[in-house]
Structure 1
Amino acid sequence: MMTSVEGVWDGAVEQEVVGAVSVLTIRNGERNLLNPGILTDIRSLLQECDDDPDIRAVLLTGAGEAFCGGLDIAPIKAGADPALFGKALLETLRIFPRLGVPVAAAVNGDALAGGASFVAACDFAVAVDSARIGTMEVSAGMWPMIAQVPLIHRLGPRLAMENIGSGEPFTAERAREVGLVQAVVEPGRAPAVAKEWLDKALRAAGAGAPGRRSLYEFASMSYDEAFDASLPRFIKLFEH
Structure 2
Amino acid sequence: MADRLIDYSLRNGVAVLTLDSPHNRNALSTRLRGELRDLLLTVREDEAVRVVLLSHTGPVFCSGMDLKESRGGTADQQGVRELPELMELVASCPKPVVVRAAGPARAGGVGLLASADIVVAASTATFAFTEVRLGLVPAVISVPLLRRMAATAVSELLLTGETFGADRAAALGLVNSAVPEADLDEEVARYLDMLGRGAPGALTATKALLRETTARQVPADYPALLTLSAGHFAGPEGQEGMRAFAEKRPPAWVPTPTR
Q: Does the alignment reach a TM-score above 0.5?
A: yes
Kept after mapping to 2: 8 A contact 1:106/1:126: yes
Aligned to 1:172: 166
* Whole-Å separation in 2 of the counterparts to 1:108 and 1:144: 23
TM (normalized to structure 1)? 0.82
Instruction: Give 4+ residue runs of structure 1 displaced > 3 Å after superposition.
Output: 3-6
| Structure 1 gap segments, 5+ residues each | 7-11, 223-240
Tell me, yes or no, if structure 1 residue 96 matches structure 2 residue 93.
no
* Whole-Å separation in 1 of the counterparts to 2:185 and 2:44: 20
Name the Cα RMSD after superposition.
1.9
Structure 2 counterpart of 1:209, which letter?
T
Match of 1:16 among 5, 9, 32: 9
Kept after mapping to 1: 8 A contact 2:150/2:172: no
TM (normalized to structure 2)? 0.77
Kept after mapping to 2: 8 A contact 1:4/1:13: no
Tell me, yes or no, if structure 1 residue 146 matches structure 2 residue 132.
no
Tell me, yes or no, if structure 1 residue 111 matches structure 2 residue 105.
yes
Normalized per residue, the structure richer in strand is 1
Kept after mapping to 1: 8 A contact 2:86/2:112: no
* Whole-Å separation in 2 of the counterparts to 1:175 and 1:143: 21
CA deviation map 1:71-117 (0-9, x unaligned): 0011221x243324112211111222321100011011001111111
Tell me, yes or no, if structure 1 residue 157 matches structure 2 residue 151.
yes
Match of 1:125 among 119, 124, 128: 119
Match of 2:186 among 167, 187, 192: 192
* Whole-Å separation in 1 of the counterparts to 2:111 and 2:68: 20
Tell me, yes or no, if structure 1 residue 70 matches structure 2 residue 64.
yes
* Whole-Å separation in 2 of the counterparts to 1:66 and 1:110: 5
Aligned to 1:9: none
Count of residues in Structure 1 that have an aligned counterpart in Structure 2: 214
Q: Which moved more, 1:168-177 or 1:211-220?
A: 211-220
CA displacement at 1:126 relative to structure 2: 1.0
Correspondence 1:203-222 to 2 at 5 A: 203-206=197-200, 207-221=202-216
CA displacement at 1:203 relative to structure 2: 0.5
Please give the secondary structure, in 1, of the residue aligned with 2:136.
Answer: coil
* Whole-Å separation in 1 of the counterparts to 2:157 and 2:76: 25
Identity %: 29
Kept after mapping to 2: 8 A contact 1:86/1:146: no
Aligned to 1:226: none
| Structure 2 gap segments, 5+ residues each | 218-259
Structure 1 counterpart of 2:130, which letter?
M
Please give the secondary structure, in 1, of the residue aligned with 2:58.
Answer: coil
CA deviation map 1:127-168 (0-9, x unaligned): 111111231122233221222221122213211112111111
Match of 2:76 among 72, 80, 83: 83
* Whole-Å separation in 2 of the counterparts to 1:188 and 1:46: 28
Kept after mapping to 2: 8 A contact 1:99/1:213: no
Aligned to 2:229: none
* Whole-Å separation in 2 of the counterparts to 1:144 and 1:4: 34
Kept after mapping to 2: 8 A contact 1:33/1:71: yes
